[in-house]
């Protein structure tokens, strides 16, 4: 029995339609090298999504596995429960040293969903420690993705992801995202419709009942939504005015994706909590976490009401995962990987401009750093929209088939629009970006042909 057949018989897939999983050509990836992946037949594919927005330093490194093996031989497992171990301590020092402001504590978990779940619980418990237990509500944005565990899923703003699992955690309110917004002439970010809606929602719910606002620096779902100028400063001011915690969900955006260590640094704000995962280890081991401002951590641990964060996991801060994080982040720093993103960002965007110009079905591109989305339409020149049938066909058939033909792996996306997401490893050089853009151009040509036909 082949590996593919065995997988189809025994593995239960994540976020994959049954007909895709049972396809006789289901890829089986066996090796990675830099920005490329290889399947069982030796075919080479360009990884245009960095795994799942995470393999920032590229595939096939030898130094990171070597560090993990050395740690495993010395201390393969210990916890952060009533004790510490050097690997998690070193990782915590390195990560907090790069974080903005006084985000001086880190609570380790194993994934982005767990990080968001932990941030929800920490926000609620913080307000218990402050004598405000009625602050339990969460506000997040429409179409935002914050994870799959039930608390994180409640905060997520994508209805079709939530529908099979209700009822979810109550007390979550969603407000508009920033798509298409700009500060009006003569106005300020406070005049942005999305932020006016946030203020209105806060007043309607009662500010004294709201614990936290969750938002990504650049929102992934709905297509790499870059905030308008001044958005984050005003969002910070709104949270301060109402005494609400601001949570920066940086599971995708942290560790160089936007050209800085953290999205908060790029947009000039200090959140109260910051969630991360993915790029912290470049996918070489599972690790996530919550960065916490010092006064919040101290309040929870010293309050006579609480005195302990009543939350934890067996694997949180695992020695192997935290060792991998140190090796990954240190290599990214020493090899100036973030400089590579900044240096090539302009060329990336120029290539995307050329793709838009060449293809009438591309409405626009959005994004920054090494994080982009192309949004498709029926015809940009005439204003004709895609039909519902075309939207389904493009995401499920046309783009996946075109990607296979040019050996490109990335993500067609149907969350709120018809999209193609681009998020290559941060080590991609000019040649890799040319290869990526050529593949994207071919996919867009396939879209043009399908829509015209």
Split at pLDDT 50, 70, 90, the class of 1 is confident
Per-residue confidence (pLDDT) for residue 330, from 0 to 100: 98
Per-residue confidence (pLDDT) for residue 79, from 0 to 100: 93
Q: Averaged over 242-252, what is the pLDDT?
A: 98
Asked if residues 195 and 238 have their Cβ atoms less than 8 Å apart, the reply is yes
Asked if residues 345 and 370 have their Cβ atoms less than 8 Å apart, the reply is yes
* Mean of pLDDT over the chain: 97
Query: Between 3.40.50.2300, 3.40.190.10, 3.40.640.10, 3.40.50.1370, what CATH number should domain 64-334 receive?
Result: 3.40.640.10
Q: Averaged over 210-230, what is the pLDDT?
A: 98
Over the stretch 362-390, which tens digit does the pLDDT of each residue have? 999 999 999 999 999 999 999 999 999 99
User: Is a pLDDT exceeding 80 seen at residue 252?
Assistant: yes
Query: HEC states along the chain?
Result: CCHHHHHHHHCCCCCCCHHHHCCCCCCCEEEEEECEEEECCCCEEEECCHHHHCCCCCECCCHHHHHHHHHHHHCCCCCCCCCCCHHHHHHHHHHHHHCCCCEEEEEEECCHHHHHHHHHHHHHHHHHHCCCCCCCEEEEECCCCCCCCHHHHHHCCCHHHHHHHCCCCCCEEEECCCCCCCCCCCCCHHHCHHHHHHHHHHHHHCHHHEEEEEECCCECCCCCECCCCCHHHHHHHHHHHHCCEEEEECCCCCCCCCCCCCHHHHHCCCCCEEEECHHHCCCCCCCEEEEEEHHHHHHHHHCCCCCCCCCCCCCCCCHHHHHHHHHHHHHHHHCCHHHHHHHHHHHHHHHHHHHHHHCCCEEEEEEECCEEEEEECCECCCCECCCHHHHHHHHHHHHHHHHHHCCEECEEECCCCCEEEECCCCCCCHHHHHHHHHHHHHHHHHHHHHHHC
Percent of the chain with pLDDT over 70: 100
Pair of tokens at residue 159: 């209805």
Q: Averaged over 402-413, what is the pLDDT?
A: 98
Distance CA 27, CA 204 (A): 50
Q: Averaged over 261-278, what is the pLDDT?
A: 98
Distance CA 292, CA 299 (A): 11
Q: Which of 58-67, 243-252, 302-311 has the lowest mean pLDDT?
A: 302-311
Split at pLDDT 50, 70, 90, the class of 258 is very high
Over the stretch 188-213, which tens digit does the pLDDT of each residue have? 999 999 999 999 999 999 999 999 99
Domain extent listing, the chain: 3-60+336-452, 64-334
Looking at domain 3-60+336-452, its CATH architecture is: Alpha-Beta Complex (3.90)
Q: Phi, psi (5° rounding) for residue 332?
A: -60, -40
Per-residue confidence (pLDDT) for residue 362, from 0 to 100: 98
Residue 167: asked if its preceding bond is cis (omega within 30°), the reply is yes
Q: Averaged over 74-85, what is the pLDDT?
A: 95
Q: Averaged over 161-179, what is the pLDDT?
A: 97
Only one residue has tokens 């999305």, namely 194
Over the stretch 93-151, which tens digit does the pLDDT of each residue have? 999 999 999 999 999 999 999 999 999 999 999 999 999 999 999 999 999 999 999 99
Cβ-based neighbours of 53, under 8 Å, separated by 6 or more: 220, 252, 257, 278, 279, 371, 423
Per-residue confidence (pLDDT) for residue 232, from 0 to 100: 98
Per-residue confidence (pLDDT) for residue 305, from 0 to 100: 83
Over the stretch 306-341, which tens digit does the pLDDT of each residue have? 899 999 999 999 999 999 999 999 999 999 999 999
Q: Averaged over 264-269, what is the pLDDT?
A: 98
């Amino acid at each position: 029995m082949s590996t593919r057949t065995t997988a189809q018989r025994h593995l239960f897939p994540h976020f994959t339609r049954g007909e895709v999983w049972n396809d006789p050509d289901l890829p089986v990836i066996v090796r990675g090298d830099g920005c490329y992946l290889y399947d069982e037949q030796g075919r080479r594919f360009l990884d245009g999504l960095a795994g799942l927005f995470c393999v920032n330093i590229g595939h096939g490194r030898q130094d990171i596995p070597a560090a993990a093996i050395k740690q495993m031989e010395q201390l393969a497992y210990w916890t952060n429960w009533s004790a510490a171990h050097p690997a998690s301590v070193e990782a915590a020092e390195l990560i907090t040293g790069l974080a903005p402001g006084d985000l001086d504590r880190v609570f380790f978990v194993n994934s982005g969903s767990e990080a968001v779940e932990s941030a929800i619980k920490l926000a609620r418990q913080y307000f218990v420690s402050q004598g405000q237990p009625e602050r339990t509500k969460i506000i997040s944005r429409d179409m935002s993705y914050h994870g799959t565990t039930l608390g994180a899923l409640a905060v997520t703003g994508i209805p079709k992801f939530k529908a099979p699992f209700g009822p979810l955690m109550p007390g979550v309110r969603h407000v508009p995202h920033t798509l298409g917004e700009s500060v009006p002439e003569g106005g300020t970010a406070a005049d942005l419709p999305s932020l006016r809606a946030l203020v209105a929602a806060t007043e309607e719910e009662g500010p004294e009942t709201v614990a936290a606002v969750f938002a990504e620096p650049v929102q992934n779902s709905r297509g790499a939504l870059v905030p308008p100028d001044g958005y984050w400063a005003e969002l910070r001011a709104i949270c301060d005015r109402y005494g609400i915690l601001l949570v920066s969900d940086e599971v995708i955006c942290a560790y160089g994706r936007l050209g800085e260590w953290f999205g908060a640094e790029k947009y000039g704000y200090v959140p109260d909590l910051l969630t991360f995962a993915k790029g912290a280890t470049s996918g070489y081991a599972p690790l996530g976490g919550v960065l916490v401002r010092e006064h919040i951590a101290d309040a929870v641990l010293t309050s006579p009401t609480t005195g302990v964060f009543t939350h934890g996991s067996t694997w949180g801060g695992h020695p192997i995962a935290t060792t991998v994080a140190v090796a990954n982040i240190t290599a990214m720093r020493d090899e100036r990987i973030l400089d590579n993103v900044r240096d090539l960002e302009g060329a990336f965007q120029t290539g995307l401009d050329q793709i838009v110009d060449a293809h009438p079905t591309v409405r626009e591109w959005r994004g920054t750093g090494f994080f982009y989305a192309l949004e498709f339409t029926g015809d940009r020149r005439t204003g004709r929209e895609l039909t519902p049938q075309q939207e389904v066909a493009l995401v499920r058939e046309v783009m996946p088939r075109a990607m296979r033909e040019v050996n490109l792996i990335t993500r067609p996306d149907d969350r709120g629009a018809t999209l193609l997401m681009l998020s290559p490893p941060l080590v991609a050089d000019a040649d890799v970006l040319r290869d990526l853009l050529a593949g994207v151009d071919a996919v867009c040509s396939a879209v043009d042909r399908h829509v015209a036909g």
